[in-house]
Every structure is written in structure tokens, then in C-alpha cells.
Amino acid sequence: MKQTIARSPLALHGGTPTIQAPFRRYNSIGEEEVTAARAVVESGVLSRYLGSWGPDFYGGPKVQEFERAWAAAFEVSHTVAVNSLTSGLIAALGALGLEPGDEVIVSPWTMCASATAPLHWNAIPVFADIEADTFCIDPASVEASLTARTRAIIAVDIFGQSANMTSLREIAHRRGLKLVSDTAQAPGARIGPRFAGTLADIGGFSLNYHKHIHTGEGGVMVSDNPELAERMRLIRNHAEAVVQRSGVTDLRNMLGHNFRLGEIEAAIGLEQLKKLHRLVETRRRLAAKLDAGLSSLSGLITPTVRSGVTHVYYIYALTLQPAVVGVARERIVAALAAEGVPYLVNGYTNVHMLPIFQQKTAYGTPGFPWNAAFCSRDVDYRHGICPVAERLHDEQCFIFEICQPDLSDTDVALIVDAFHKVWAHLDDLR
């Protein structure tokens, strides 16, 4: 069958596509979530937060139950539910006590929120490069990016596996820095016996609609530090209104927000959490089949998994060697898309190239906060500061968003067939 497909003309050149019907959209929501949400609606308690000190400051019964369940599942001391990981990262950096002009090391390969979170406290993001094989932030580049103003590192567990937390923790400890883990794309991944997201001072998870598990919108922050957890809870819910009665005397960054998760989302989250292990194992099994089917293709590198960790494959990232293949990445991706392979994207966003960083303007007057007196130096965001990330984005990496379709083994086999067909016709694409 595979030989017949390989001999047929490319769909890009008028042949029959390998995949002729769209894959089913991934949907982890079932009757359990419907029942849980209905029960909350029928109770009439859609939220029980009050922005004043008292029992309801910490939210309603489902929010607090969800936080306890997440803490137990991930084996952490404290969990703080929020309305998005974006909100959670802002709360986390505020809890760390960032000051205007402090510098935070961030990755260029991330959803922009983890790179812009420092700006909410008028701190300055500094980009370190990524590892060419795992796409996670490179500890050597982090070390080279440190200055006297560095206060924290945000490690992004990109695509589904953890960053090198052993090295990053060592750097943070030696330099007296705080470490935050953005584990939006890697819930359930492990580093040895520990879960990704639990080895930093603060970790964060996303419950956005296209993640492994979701509540539509939502996020979860975790920490084993009770003071940091409480400061995140305060920032989550109008800190300035409650610090006097709560007994908090350190008012740094006690400027609160409404980052609160609702009772319906928390009820859905409780049901989704029960499914996490099964859904993660499904992604790992499908990725193993892709590995087996694609690893023989010359000039194509399948995802690298760091020793001692597990990968949960939010994204299945491939690296093309154009010099070996003799065809530009864009041409390869166009041919695969024509064969029916869905959710293919060239590269991954280099966040440091976004206008906010290129023009260095976040608030009000152009240039602020980078041009403020509290900034100690001119931070460089020009093309070239992250050569590995830029080369991968511009020429080599393309990604398959494996958490978008609900794939069967048959679907994976068709994807593999499509790749082999394209590779059999490389001469036609040159």
C-alpha cells in the first residue's frame, strides 16, 4: 500500500491526496463535565469570590476543591487556580517581589505571555536562546545573559517536555535567583519521579481550550512555598483591598486584579483532571508511532526527548535538514498539507521579534519602560541574539499540532504514508 501511494503523483501536482477526509477535532469534554457544570448552574453559585477579607476571599467550594485535587495529583503543597495562565504568570512574578528595572530571563520560543509577564511589573525581559534538539531554553545561554539586575528565570516546558531543570535550578541557587516554570504545554510530563512544573519556586499550567485537558479558559499555579502561594492569591483577588485585614505588611506588588476562576470552570477542571493520565498516555503512544514511521526519512529529525524526562506531545516538532533533503521547508510543508496532513506550521514564533520588543513600547510614552530611569542598560532584541531559535524558525523546524485532532492509529498511519509519499517525490519538489 505504501509503495503504491509513494508512486502516485503528489497532490501538490494534481495527484490524489493521501488523506481524503478531515480528522475529527480533539475534544476531551464528555458527559462527566456536562453533568458537573449542570450541577453548578443548578446550585446558583457560579462564583463565590469576594474582594474583601473573609471566608469567600478564596473562592467558592468547587474552586477550593479543584485546588486541593490538583495539589494532590501533582504532589505539591499549594495550588492557586486562576482564570488563565497569563494571569497566573503575572501573579507569580508579582509574588516574587519584582521591582521596576529588574531583569527576567525568558525564552524566545513560547506563547508571548511568558515573555511579557515581567512588563506588568515594569521589569525587563531578556531573551536567552534555546537548545537545538529540545527547543527548551538553553542553560548556557541563560548563564551568559545574567547581569547584576537579573532577578528571575522563566523556564518554558515547550511542546510537552521539561526544560533542563537540573541546570536551571543550579544557576538560580548559585546566583540567588527565583525560578518560574511555564508548563502550559506539558501537564503530566515528568522529570524523574517529579512532575514538570513542580521543581521551580512557582510553576504554572494552562487550561486553555486546545490543551491536553481544559476548562475553556483557566490556569493553575503551584508552589511549595506558602508565602509565595499566598501572595499569588492576594494578587489574584484585589490584594490592595484586603492586606490591612489579612495581616500582610509587605506591600510590594500588592496591587490586585480579578484573576479568579469561576465555579463552572472548576467543576469541569475536576473531571478533566481525572482524565489527564489517560489522555497524556494516548499522545505518547501516537507520538511513538510517528517516531517509528518517520525516523527512517533522510534529512528529517523526529522529536528528541531529554534523558530522564517524559514528553507528553502537545506539539510534535520536526527538524528538517534542508542541505540533506535539497528542498526548502516551505515546499515540504506545502506538499504535506496538499496530501491532507493537518495542523502543520512553519517554525514557531520568535517572540523577541514581535513589535512590542522591536519598538520597545509597552505603556504610554513610546519606549517605556525600557527608556525609564530605573532601567540600567539598553537590552538588545535585534535579530541575531538567539541564533538557534532564529535558524529553526526561519529554515528548519516545522510542527504538527498533535493536540488539535483526535487521532486514531489509522490516522497516524495515513500521516506516515503522506510523509513517505512526499519524500519519494523529493526530486519533483527540487
- pLDDT score recorded for residue 3: 53
C-alpha to C-alpha distance for 66 and 267, rounded to whole angstroms: 7
The set of cell numbers assigned to 256 is 490586585
C-alpha span between 86 and 88 (Å, rounded): 5
pTM: predicted TM-score of the whole model, two decimal places:
0.96
Bridge-partner residues for 137, per DSSP? 130
Cell of 58: 478564596
Calpha distance 105→251 (Å, rounded): 25
Distance CA 338, CA 16 (A): 9
For 137-178, the pLDDT digits (tens) are 999 999 999 999 999 999 999 999 999 999 999 999 999 999
Torsion of CA 199, 200, 205, 211, to 10 degrees: -60
Residue 349: Cβ-neighbour burial (10 angstroms; 0-12, 13-18, 19+) = middle
According to the model, what pLDDT value does residue 1 have?
A: 46
pLDDT in tens, 10-65: 999 999 999 999 999 999 999 999 999 999 999 999 999 999 999 999 999 999 99
Give the mean pLDDT per block of 10 residues along the chain (430 residues).
68 97 95 98 96 94 98 98 98 97 98 97 98 98 98 98 98 98 98 97 96 96 98 97 89 94 98 98 97 98 96 98 97 98 95 97 96 95 98 97 95 98 96
DSSP state of 137: B
How many angstroms separate the CA atoms of 241 and 291, rounded? 53
Number of H helices, E strands in the chain: 16, 13
* Of 424, 394, 357, 389, nearest in space to 112 by CA: 357
What are the structural domains, with CATH classification, of the chain?
2-25+276-347+390-429 (3.90.1150.10), 31-272 (3.40.640.10)
The answer for residues whose C-beta is within 8 angstroms of residue 208's C-beta and 6 or more apart is 84, 85, 184, 214, 216, 217, 218
Taking each helix axis from N to C terminus, what angle separates 263-294 and 409-424, rounded to the nearest 10 degrees?
40
Longest dimension (CA), the chain: 75
DSSP 295: T
Bridge partners of 12, per DSSP, are none
Do residues 18 and 421 make contact, with C-beta atoms less than 8 angstroms apart? yes
> What is the predicted pLDDT for the residue at 4?
59
Helix (H) or strand (E) holding 200: none
Quick one: cell of 7? 508512486
Q: How far apart are CA 102 and CA 98, in angstroms?
A: 6
Q: Which residues contact 241 (CB under 8 A, 6 or more apart)?
A: 51, 52, 256
